[in-house]
Amino acid sequence: VLTQSPATLSLSPGERATLSCRASQSVSSDLAWYQQKPGQALRLLIYDASNRATGISGRFSGSGSGTDFTLTISSLEPEDFAVYYCLQRKVSISFGQGTRLEMK
């Protein structure tokens, strides 16, 4: 089971966002992060915990291993306000419940 926190994060453009994903048991580094916007396909941001997917801005970074993971957006742009999910496939397949990043 993956638990994301916070459920909602209210920040302003230019601020730093830190999103957390905690696994109930170790998933090593086998964790991915996604961005979801209304009406758009989900976009892979980070795979294997810390590797940016093709075409993803350098302001997105992932860290962590085992049970605790973090997605950091260094300086928020208006297009970054969305819902973010983590995913693991180490123990069956499960997603976190999501973090809504909203503009303050």
Partner 1 sequence: EVHLVESGGGLVQPGGSLRLSCAASGFSFSRYSMNWVRQAPGKGLEWISYISGSSRFIYYENSVKGRFTISRDNARDSLYLQMNSLRDEDTAVYYCARDPPQCGEGSCLSGFDQWGQGTLVTVSS
Question: Which residues contribute to the site for partner 1 (CB under 8 A)?
Answer: 28, 30-34, 39-44, 47-48, 53, 85, 87, 89-90, 93-98
Question: Which of residues 16 and 89 has its CB atom nearest to partner 1 in the complex?
Answer: 89
Question: Which of residues 66 and 98 has its CB atom nearest to partner 1 in the complex?
Answer: 98
- Cα separation, 21 vs 71, in Å, equals 8
Side chain identity, residue 77 = E
- Cα separation, 47 vs 14, in Å, equals 25
Question: Which of residues 28 and 74 has its CB atom nearest to partner 1 in the complex?
Answer: 28
The least distance separating partner 1 from the CB of residue 15, rounded to whole angstroms, comes to 25
Cα separation values, 77 from 7, 72, 101, Å: 20, 13, 11
